[in-house]
Structure 1
């Protein structure tokens, strides 16, 4: 005789690491199942997770009620990730704990139930810092909670923090440092010392993971109840070919087309790459990782400035390469970092550079790193370097991520990009952005190494009837080209509203013909434009948002999803401020309530940002 169907209100569950759409689908699927059916569904899902390399769930299985009734020690791993690095490291840490039979749970920051913080005993946070000391979008609410009055005292908590950042920004790993200090102030004890990782992440992350694992074995092994084991239901499925940043796919460049006018100050390229034969799959909102090389002319300029031999062999670890190859293919030479400025100050014996490194000179150092490249520092402050010392001091060259500007349903085995070619004069010399110049200088037919970087936080609503609002000035419009293509291909019935801005309508209206055609077909329902320099007073997308405040708020109240893509330094902050004002005024809310409203949208997967 079967028991009565079980029903559970969503509000009674710990918040899942899912957006609201798939969570609701799961709830609908579970409706009407009796307890036996629910146990079967749980085991089936766990088997799928195991087959995909997922973590073993920590919930007890049938027959383990007595063990589950006892308090259990475990490590909670929480990550906040903008580009995926923090997520990968958190997953790797959790997987190592699982492999050792240690209890662990892994949660994205916006899925972490903050009410449980007071009961945690072991916590590891892996978090990146964005722009000028900002948290990643999925961790904004958690950081605000920790900084706020509701944060509890944590005398029983042992914690550790791994911060990820880029030392070319003055506030390097500021969010990791901020969380570390705040947890200490709340009474928690450092379990493992905080680590701050630069672009060469593994040199710092690997020993941190090893130390956390060693401490975990000591603290958790003897106290843990046995973990549930799950037999995969489909153990013989072959894993798909995985192209990664370590093993990229070689794509053919099909199109390299300038899409700004001759009179524009911007050189924006529409790039099309063939993924034929790769077996790569991507969704609108994902990014394409591009393995790049530095401009050869810049490499030769650095070598000449230092009087070094470009062909001289240099050994680092197990690799021996000519200096030219280290600088061209393995090291960052277009971005300054604070550590390199400090090291060069010593090589040059420069009092001027040493003064810039003082705490009260943050703005001056920021200006230097924004304007100058390695070659400029070497030229303006001469100093002696050996080839070996130079290669050791420079950071590893990293792939660059570009929002994919196409839907596979529309373009097939291709990926399209919208790339701003960075090229400018500094004195009598020309300077370039490493990645944009690498792509802009390639002719059709050239080979480019690529991989997919999935972005689960930047997804179209699963319900095609939902409206979407897209805010993407400049090259930030790229993913929204993919969104509109996808929504049209699947015959989504929800409305699509795009806000786009650039300096001049005549020269800088990216994809103008496509947007106009989409309006005629009904694939795009509203288009608001902000061309900042076509009138006496500058007009940006945030001004258009304020002009449409009533309608925009009505869309949000009706369930619309809101997306922002583009510059993280100014645009995204100005847009966020405008949205807060709109919600406060149109909704009759306080500033605090407006902020909570946006945070709720983000938690529900209805407010997503892809900013850089």
Structure 2
């Protein structure tokens, strides 16, 4: 791989590591944060940044360039009766790799797109594929794609009149996966930590695995290396002043950036108060970083900690419910200039938290809904309402 050259130090050329030239970071620690009996697996992974030249601030993300699961690659080779040693061209520049290596390290094989289906249609006489693409109801293609991968497509619409080269030419390069950094560089010099929820599920009678999360869970032991880079996040960061109060809402792996916020505040000993809302399924098995958070609370670094464990009670309680329970005090913090942060699930949680926030401002500020929305929009403009949702 071509290295970008930084300044010369003495006679030594120093490589610049980046998204296009990731750094092979050594795994220092890899532990499951969930306890026995949990429905989840959440990995706390620590990497060494020694000799990388990387630095980061709380709120930034770490990119990992993942590899595909070898079992899935083997299934593809078997299904299509391809020779894994056959050399294929992988990009427009004409670079080549043996097919097995290309499917493992270069191509995205776990996601389908409409474009892949459309281009694949030329290599098969499948009436089913033709009917799917010709259907007036465009949602049918979306429905087919959701939860399926390349292997499904090859099994569903064969036989194929295409070479391995023609099929892989339909695929895009495997994109890096980005994770919110869960550590402060000031608290952990030469290290970066992540909190990764491991994705495993079954769909269409096959077990599926999250490409990067399962690689991190199953194939990244202490001493191994993974290719990484830092992705700055200008839209999600601590207030400039250490004296400013912060309210953080981060259920599940959404806690990651807030661990970095709290660590940073702990080192810098600012006078600003901090309030964390954390939630998950069961307190006994899913209270991520419980010991650390309770220690920070004892030390006064974390002023308030409110938790919502949805499966501990008959009626499900989520972080937004805890916000509403504390609406008066939460509004007082906001009126005093606190920054409000949300990290985690975009589809449900972030929307519910947004709604709760409007309700709190409306109720406690004695305003109309419209006025509450305007106040929230003003907070956003002032960078006092920040979201890192996915």
TM-score of the pair, normalised by structure 1: 0.58
Q: Which residue of 2 aligns with 1:465?
A: 243
The equivalent residue for 1:275 is 49
Out of 254, 262, 270, the position equivalent to 1:484 is 262
**Which residue among 382, 388, 391 is the counterpart of 2:168?**
391
Q: Secondary structure at the match of 1:393?
A: coil
Q: 1:347 Cα deviation (Å)?
A: 4.2
Q: CA deviation at 1:561?
A: 0.3
Structure 1 partner of 2:299: 521
Are residues 1:247 and 2:25 paired? no
Q: Is the 8 A contact 1:332 1:397 kept in 2?
A: yes
Q: By how many angstroms is 1:506 displaced?
A: 1.0
- Counterpart of 2:188 in structure 1 is 411
Shift of the 487–365 alpha-carbon distance from structure 1 to 2, 3 Å rule, reads farther
Q: Distance in 1 between matches of 2:144 and 2:355?
A: 28
Which of these two proteins has the greater Rg computed from alpha carbons? 1
Structure 1 residue 378, shift from structure 2 partner: 2.5
1:359 positional shift:
6.2
Tell me how far apart the structure 1 counterparts of residues 211 and 356 of structure 2 sit (CA, whole Å): 33
CA distance in 2, matches of 1:461, 1:369: 42
Displacement over 6 Å in runs of 4+: none
Give the Cα separation in 2 of the matches to 1:414 and 1:350: 54
* Aligned-CA RMSD value: 2.4
Matched, 1:321 2:97: yes
Q: Tell me, in whole angstroms, the C-alpha distance in 2 between the residues paired with 1:493 and 1:357.
A: 63
Q: Which is strand-richer, 1 or 2?
A: 2
| Paired position in structure 1 for 2:338 | 560
1:428 shift after superposition: 6.0
Checking the alignment, whether the CA contact within 8 Å between 1:284 and 1:479 is kept in structure 2 is yes
Could you tell me which runs of 5 or more consecutive residues in structure 1 were left unpaired when the two chains were aligned.
1-239
**Which has more helix, going by share of residues?**
1
Matching residue of 2:114: 338
2:9 alignment counterpart: none
Determine the C-alpha separation between the residues in 1 that align with 2:143 and 2:326. Answer: 36
Pick which of 470-479 and 599-608 moved more.
Answer: 599-608
- 2:358 is matched with 580
**What is the CA deviation profile of residues 578-599 of structure 1, one whole-angstrom value per residue up to 9, with x for unaligned ones?**
2122222222333333222222
- Structure 2: distance between partners of 1:275 and 1:359: 52
Which one of 432, 444, 447 corresponds to residue 225 of structure 2?
447
Q: Give the aligned partner of residue 282 of structure 2.
A: 504
Distance 1:550 1:503, change over 3 A: same
Moved more, 364-373 or 435-444: 364-373
Whole-angstrom CA distance in 1 between matches of 2:240 and 2:287? 30
Mapped contact 2:128–2:157 kept (Cα < 8 A)? no
Once the two structures are superposed, the pairs formed by residues 187-336 of structure 1 within 5 Å of their partners are 242-315=16-89, 316-317=91-92, 318-336=94-112
Distance 1:260 1:350 in 2: 47
SS in 1 for 2:244: coil
CA distance in 1, matches of 2:214, 2:132: 33
Distance in 1, matches of 2:137 and 2:334, equals 43
Could you say if the C-alpha distance between residues 361 and 565 of structure 1 is closer, same or farther in structure 2, counting changes exceeding 3 Å?
same
For 2:114 and 2:320, locate their aligned partners in 1 and report how far apart those are by CA, in whole Å: 33
